[in-house]
């Protein structure tokens, strides 16, 4: 016998935004008119994630009153202002540079500026070379910045506490831990560059290939109590305790409490290649056939947690190194048939996974469009390899199986 309770959780996000831009010609250059765009934005975001009182209740020892439902409500609001520009400089008919920049100001954490430069050179009528360099950021989320403080008795290993208790240095114990919002949390910073080419060798064929490299610094990471202990005991190996996190010890060296949560720590580096091929065939009285093949290959995906650990995430569960798609459309008269193939490469113990989507569209004479179709028409599911408490990786694969749909569009 047991006691059960019905719990609830209310989440709400509201965004109010106003923006505007102007597009104008600046002056004439060797390759044509230099054009610029300038814009401004203002946005207000409000976020509420409220657990009920039963979910947030604690007993006299600080444990959740209802097992498995400990809530951590959060909520807050902020406003963001932004100004941006983009400026095209066509030096010649086959060479131009585009300069761009964006300034963002958030009311809750600070300001960021994101510059970008892009270049295009067309040495041949059928060949275009391109390159770009840019910097960016990701602001910390409202849910992280406004999380309510929650308590947990976390299992850890701490040699100093073990010694104070007269236990071996490898003993396991529980310590009072408070997970709370970090007032020192800042944005993630990124840099990226890419080089590529577009080639149109034939009237019915065009190809493109691009190499990219991305580095993200000051990644927003959840700092565990054990990580804080490691940094406290051995900062030379694990680095200092991140700002906003802390550990308090008693006079005998045992841990009194730990303040944990999210902080800026670590880097992420990745690079890869994107390839695309487009074809178009005129079949005369049999209509027109179009195809698009897209292949993405990730060469590296390395995460440095800032604690001396560098992990290569490729080819493990959830991180395939290649993905692809083949889109095919055949149009004849007022009818268009589509067949799409989607592929996710092998990752860890999970093999390659492909699904097929089909659809048929009729352009009616009264300016209406009728479409029927099905995604994952073969009703195929990924391999049953547990991930994050579920039968497979729900972040990478969906659980809908075959999904049929009907769509009607009317143009006036």
pLDDT at 251 over 90: yes
Answer whether 371's CB lies under 8 Å from 407's CB.
Answer: yes
Options 2.40.170.20, 2.30.130.10, 3.40.50.12280, 3.40.630.30; CATH of 114-410: 2.40.170.20
Answer whether 306's CB lies under 8 Å from 300's CB.
Answer: no
pLDDT reported for residue 44: 95
355 forms beta bridges with: 342
- Looking at every residue in the chain, the average pLDDT score rounds to 91
Q: How would you class 166 by CB atoms within 10 Å of its CB: exposed for 0-12, middle for 13-18, buried for 19 or more?
A: exposed
Q: Which residues contact 262 (CB under 8 A, 6 or more apart)?
A: 140, 144, 181, 182, 185, 220, 221, 222, 223
At 283-299, the pLDDT tens digits run 999 999 999 999 999 99
At 172-225, the pLDDT tens digits run 999 999 998 898 899 999 999 999 999 999 999 999 999 999 999 999 999 999
* Domain layout of the chain by residue ranges: 1-113, 114-410
Range 328-333 average pLDDT: 97
Reported pTM: 0.83
Q: Are strands 74-92 and 32-51 parallel, antiparallel or unpaired?
A: antiparallel
What is the distance in angstroms between the CA of the first residue and the CA of the last residue of the chain?
64
């Amino acid at each position: 016998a047991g006691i059960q309770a019905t719990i609830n959780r209310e989440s709400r996000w509201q965004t109010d935004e106003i923006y505007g831009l102007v597009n104008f010609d600046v002056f004439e250059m060797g390759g044509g008119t230099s054009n610029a765009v300038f814009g401004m934005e203002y946005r207000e975001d409000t976020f509420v994630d409220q657990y009920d009182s039963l979910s947030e209740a604690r007993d006299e020892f600080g444990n959740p009153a209802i097992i498995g439902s400990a809530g951590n409500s959060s909520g807050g609001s902020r406003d963001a202002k932004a100004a941006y520009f983009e400026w095209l400089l066509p030096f010649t008919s086959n060479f131009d540079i585009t300069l761009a920049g964006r300034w963002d100001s958030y009311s809750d954490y600070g300001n960021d500026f994101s510059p970008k430069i892009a270049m295009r050179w067309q040495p041949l009528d059928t060949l275009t070379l391109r390159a770009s360099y840019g910097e960016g950021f990701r602001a910390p989320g409202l849910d992280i910045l406004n999380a309510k403080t929650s308590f947990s008795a976390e299992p850890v290993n701490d040699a100093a506490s073990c010694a104070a208790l007269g236990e071996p240095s490898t003993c396991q114990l529980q310590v009072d831990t408070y997970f709370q919002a970090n007032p020192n949390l800042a944005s993630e910073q990124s840099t990226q560059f890419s080089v590529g080419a577009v080639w149109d060798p034939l009237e019915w064929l065009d190809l493109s290939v691009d190499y990219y490299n991305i580095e993200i610094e000051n990644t927003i990471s959840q700092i565990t109590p054990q990580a804080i202990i490691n940094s406290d005991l051995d900062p030379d190996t694990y680095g200092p305790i991140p700002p906003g996190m802390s550990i308090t010890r008693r006079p005998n060296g045992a841990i009194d409490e730990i303040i944990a949560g999210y902080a800026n720590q670590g880097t992420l580096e990745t690079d890869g290649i994107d390839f695309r091929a487009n074809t178009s065939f005129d079949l005369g009285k049999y209509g027109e056939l179009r195809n698009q093949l897209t292949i993405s290959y990730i060469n590296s995906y390395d995460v440095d947690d800032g604690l001396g650990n560098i992990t290569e995430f490729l080819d493990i569960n959830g991180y395939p190194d290649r993905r692809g798609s083949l889109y095919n459309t055949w149009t004849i008269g007022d009818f268009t048939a589509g067949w799409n193939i989607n592929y996710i490469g092998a990752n860890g113990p999970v093999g390659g996974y492909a699904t097929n989507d089909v659809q048929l569209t009729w352009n009616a004479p009264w300016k209406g469009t009728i479409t029927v179709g099905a995604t994952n028409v073969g009703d195929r599911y990924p391999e049953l390899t547990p991930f994050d408490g579920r039968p497979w990786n729900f972040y990478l694969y969906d659980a809908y199986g075959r999904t049929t749909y009907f769509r009607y569009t009317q143009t006036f």
